Structure 1
Amino acid sequence: MSIRVMLVDDQVLLRTGFRMVLAAQPDMEVVAEAGDGVEALAAVRSTAIDVILMDVRMPKLDGVEATRRICEREDAPKVIILTTFDLDEYAFSALKAGAAGFMLKDVPPGELLAAIRAVHSGDAVVAPSTTRRLLDRFAPMLPGGGAGGSGGRARPGLERLTDREREVVLLVAQGLSNGEIAARLVLSEATVKTHVGRILTKLELRDRVQVVVMAYETGLVRAGGPAGPAGSAGSAR
């Protein structure tokens, strides 16, 4: 089956360019387009969509709020945020809202196509280290972020994590890949992947990006600083 994609951007020319790139792919199909967040929400209600390429700065309803409402749906498609500038505060807000990742609008076609396929298969398309840079820069400025402050907000399910899972959370939040975490904790990469899957299930999170956001919001890590005191990130048991 083709990956069903929706393009959301108030620039018709940009949508046309993306549509031409996607139309040339045997495994992709553009099934809907929207010029603002209101149109995007209507399309999601009436059309089966797998992946959305979402602009953030649009009239009527911006991409951040549209993403939040879309991701609240039980059958929510995956959302990739498209931004004009790297480390955009809108990209940060969209990640908190549930986006699977973000990319620059001038991304090479090959990378865009790979990103669509990645999120469709369940992966995030923004490196955790890049997410951490976003959080380090913008979390202290945005309302409700909780990053960098004392205490943070409690996250239901944190108490259910094992000591090892908490270690893995802290390392994910520092931007380490599964392979790097495996080397740090002297585990197999498959074991780390299993831990990450259990963490996502226990905390009801969508992907690794959301783990990083959660770690900031709860104070497990601090903006611009190392992991918090909730377990030693470098220990191996």
Structure 2
Amino acid sequence: MTDTEDLAHPGERHHDSLAEKLNWLRAGVLGANDGIVSVAGLVVGVAGATTERLVILTAGVASLVAGALSMAGGEYVSVSTQRDTERAALELEKYELRTMPEVEERELAQIYQEKGLSAELAEQVAQELTEKDPLRAHAEAELQIDPDNLTSPWQAAWASFVAFTVGGLIPLLAIGFPPTSVRVWLCGAAVLVGLALTGVISARLGSARVARAVLRNVGVGALTMVVTYYVGVLFGTAVG
């Protein structure tokens, strides 16, 4: 690598690293948010219907386990489908490179020409890239796929499982152990702090506006807890 390459755009996020980061960010942030909101909604709702600590904890633990497994399974299936699609696209590209290499090289040159290169330079770039690694050249230019770095369903599944579990523990611990008179308030405060934190993290990593992400997360969490709490109160009153 030349000195120029070392110094140029030192903080710039390139496609491969950004795609990988976004994959983890999506699974992690969605998992944490879902864990916080889902478990909080359930335990607050149950707390509105009963003051029995064991009942609340049992419902919370069941929600935590079921939600974490469901989130991980959903991510695994979703990303596996994406990976299968990427593999199928790569196999088709391999076939086309074997059977019609000249057409594929012209197609690659056309892509670079559409990006702003002159016709002569685009043809030269396409030729040199094809000579070096035709599959990588075409996969990255045409499909936006790195053949050596396909999306991993297991990584996404584990990220979602861990994130959901960590997020779900916040409302579970906050409502399960404090005294009855303050447990709902402490749970609500802990949930809002947790959602604000995930909002800040997601905004920072995604270079988005922090205030909007925090308000969105906190608003959804607060609405969920208010609704489920009063549903629990009404159910508890009706049944009791």
Task: Determine which structure has the larger helix proportion and give its number.
Answer: 2
Whether TM-score is above 0.5 comes out as no
Using the size of structure 2 for normalisation, the TM-score is: 0.20
Work out which of the two has the higher radius of gyration on C-alpha atoms and give 1 or 2.
2
Whichever structure has more strand as a proportion of its residues is 1
TM value normalised by structure 1: 0.20
Structure number with higher relative contact order (C-alpha < 8 Å, ≥ 6 residues apart) = 2
